[in-house]
Amino acid sequence: MTADRVVIVGASHAGAQLAANLRKEKWAGDILLIGDEGRLPYQRPPLSKAYLAGGCHLDDVAIRSHQFYDKQRIQLVDATVTSIDRAERTVTLGNNNAVPYSKLALCTGARARALPVPGADLPGVHYLRTATDVEAIRAAAVPGSRVVIVGGGYIGLETAASLRTLGVEVTVLEAAGRVLERVTAPVVSEFFERIHREKGVEVRTDTIVEGFCGDERVAGVVLAGGETLAAELVIVGVGVIPNTELAAAAGIDVDNGILVDDRARSSDPDILAAGDCVSHPIERYGRRARLECVAAATEQAKVAAATICGNDSALSSLPWFWSDQYDLKLQIAGLNTGYDEVLLSGDPAHDRGFTCYYFRDRELIAADCINRPQDFMTAKRAIAQRSSIDRAELIGATS
C-alpha cells in the first residue's frame, strides 16, 4: 500500500478545490484526482448561463490550468471508479486496476434526475448537467426554433434566460403551482414569472408532462389532458440525484447524500466527502442538509483537506446561493425552511430589485436579494450571528 497518497474520486469543483487545498495544508504525498469527463475540472454554475449563451469558452470556466496541476504534483486520471475496498484501502477503476490510498475523498457530485415518461430517450431530449450536455443543447438551439423546458426551478429559468438571448422560442413547464415553489416565497415566484413573460418566455404552471413524441427525434411534448406542444428541442430540469452508489456499496452511511460530520469525515474516518454528494450538519439550523452550491463545495473541500492533514477545521459557514437571469442577480442568504413570515424591501411588482426577508418566530433565517448586494451582505451577517434586526430598517432599505 502507498503510505502517503490521497485519492480523490470526482474531478468536480469540490474535487479540484480539495486537491489544491491539500497542497496549501502542506500535504507532501501523492494526490490523484480521478474524473470521467476527459476535461479539466470546470465550474458548473456558468453552464446554464454564460456558457450556454455563448458568452465564454470552457477554458474560461476551468477551475485551474494544466500548469497548476503539474506544478502542484496533482495527477489527473481520466477513469471511472467502480468500487471501493475499505479493508485493502484501494479503489478499482473501470480497467480493473486497483489504486491504493491512505486517505480517500469522495467528490462524486450529482446527476440530473431523469423524467420517466414515454419518449424520454428520443434524440433532442436533453438534460443540463455537464459541458457536453450544454454543447449539444447549444448546437440544437437554432434561432427561431421551439424549445420546451420541463422544470421551473433555477436551472430551468436560467436556461430559459440564456436561450432567449440566442433567439429561440421558449416555453417553461412547471408541475407545481408556481416556479421556484420549493425554494422561494410566492412573491419571489411571481416576480420571476413576470420577468420571464416580459422577455417572451411562455410560463405554464400546474402542467404535467406525460411524454415526448416524434419519429427519429423529438417533435413535441405531450401534456396531461392530451395537448401536444410542438418542440424541436426539449430540456429537462427536474432536480438532481446525489451520486452515492459507490459509497453505499462500500458500506458507508448515506441518506440523501454521503453523511459526513463537521470535519467532512464519513462513517469511515479514512474516507472523506465534499460537494453535491454530501449531507452535512448545519449548526445554524440544527439539522442536516445537502447543499447544491459552489460555496458549500468550496468550504467542504477546504475542511476535508485540513482534516486529512491533521489540522483543525470545521464546517461553519452560512449556506448561500445565487442565480443569474437576464440582468438580474438573485443572491440567497440562509435556508428559509419553516418560515412563517416574510417582509419585503422594495416593490417586486414594479422594480427590478428588491429583497424578501424570511422569518421564523420573528427571527431572521433567510433572505432572497434581487440586485441588492448590500442587503445580501447585511442579511448574511445578521443571520449567521443571530443578531437582532430592526425590522422597520429592513423594510425601508433602498440599497
- Which residues is 329 bridged to in the sheet? 324
- Last residue within a domain, chosen from 175, 206, 236: 236
Place 398 in a pLDDT band, splitting at 50, 70 and 90.
Answer: very low
Say what the pLDDT of residue 296 is. Answer: 95
Mean pLDDT of 144-157: 96
Q: What are phi and psi of 391, to 5 degrees?
A: -60, -40
Please indicate, yes or no, whether residues 209 and 164 belong to a single structural domain of this protein. yes
Task: Indicate which CATH number applies to the domain containing 189.
Answer: 3.50.50.60
Q: Is residue 120 part of a domain?
A: yes
Mean pLDDT of the chain: 95
Say what the pLDDT of residue 254 is. Answer: 98
Residue 109 DSSP class = -
Q: How many domains does the chain have?
A: 3
Interatomic CA distance for residues 287 and 65, integer angstroms: 37
Task: Let me know: does 369 contact 330? Beta carbons within 8 Å.
Answer: yes
Mean pLDDT of 356-384: 96
Say what the pLDDT of residue 399 is. Answer: 44
Q: Is residue 316 part of a domain?
A: no
Please indicate, yes or no, whether residues 229 and 81 belong to a single structural domain of this protein. no
Place 251 in a pLDDT band, splitting at 50, 70 and 90.
Answer: very high
Q: Is residue 314 part of a domain?
A: no
Say what the pLDDT of residue 211 is. Answer: 97
Q: Is residue 284 part of a domain?
A: yes
Task: Let me know: does 264 contact 304? Beta carbons within 8 Å.
Answer: yes
Please indicate, yes or no, whether residues 281 and 230 belong to a single structural domain of this protein. no
Task: Let me know: does 16 contact 33? Beta carbons within 8 Å.
Answer: yes
The pLDDT tens digits for 4-36 are 999 999 999 999 999 999 999 999 999 999 999
Mean pLDDT of 322-335: 96
Q: What are phi and psi of 175, to 5 degrees?
A: -70, -30
**What is the extent of the structural domain holding 95?**
5-111+240-308
Interatomic CA distance for residues 345 and 391, integer angstroms: 10
Q: Is residue 363 part of a domain?
A: yes
DSSP codes joined into one string, 296-357: HHHHHHHHHHHHHTT------PPPEEEEEETTEEEEEEE--TT--EEEEES-TTT-S-EEEE
14 grid coordinates:
469540490
Residue 257 DSSP class = S
Q: Evaluate if residue 2 carries a pLDDT over 90.
A: no
Please indicate, yes or no, whether residues 130 and 232 belong to a single structural domain of this protein. yes
Task: Let me know: does 8 contact 33? Beta carbons within 8 Å.
Answer: yes
- Last residue within a domain, chosen from 202, 236, 270: 236
Residue % of the chain over a pLDDT of 90: 94
Task: Indicate which CATH number applies to the domain containing 336.
Answer: 3.30.390.30
Place 3 in a pLDDT band, splitting at 50, 70 and 90.
Answer: low
Mean pLDDT of 50-79: 95
**Cα angle 387, 388, 394; round to 5:** 110
Q: What pTM value is reported for the model? A: 0.94
Mean pLDDT of 49-55: 91
Say what the pLDDT of residue 354 is. Answer: 96
Mean pLDDT of 319-342: 96
Range list of β-strands (E), 239-277 = 240-242, 258-259, 271-273
- Last residue within a domain, chosen from 209, 236, 263: 236
The pLDDT tens digits for 173-224 are 999 999 999 999 999 999 999 999 999 999 999 999 999 999 999 999 999 9
Interatomic CA distance for residues 292 and 277, integer angstroms: 8
Please indicate, yes or no, whether residues 232 and 167 belong to a single structural domain of this protein. yes
Q: Evaluate if residue 372 carries a pLDDT over 90.
A: yes
Please indicate, yes or no, whether residues 51 and 121 belong to a single structural domain of this protein. no
Please indicate, yes or no, whether residues 131 and 193 belong to a single structural domain of this protein. yes
Place of cell 433555477: 154
Long-range contacts of 135-140 (CB under 8 A, 24+ apart): 137/52, 137/233, 137/235, 138/52, 138/54, 138/166, 140/232, 140/233
Say what the pLDDT of residue 389 is. Answer: 80
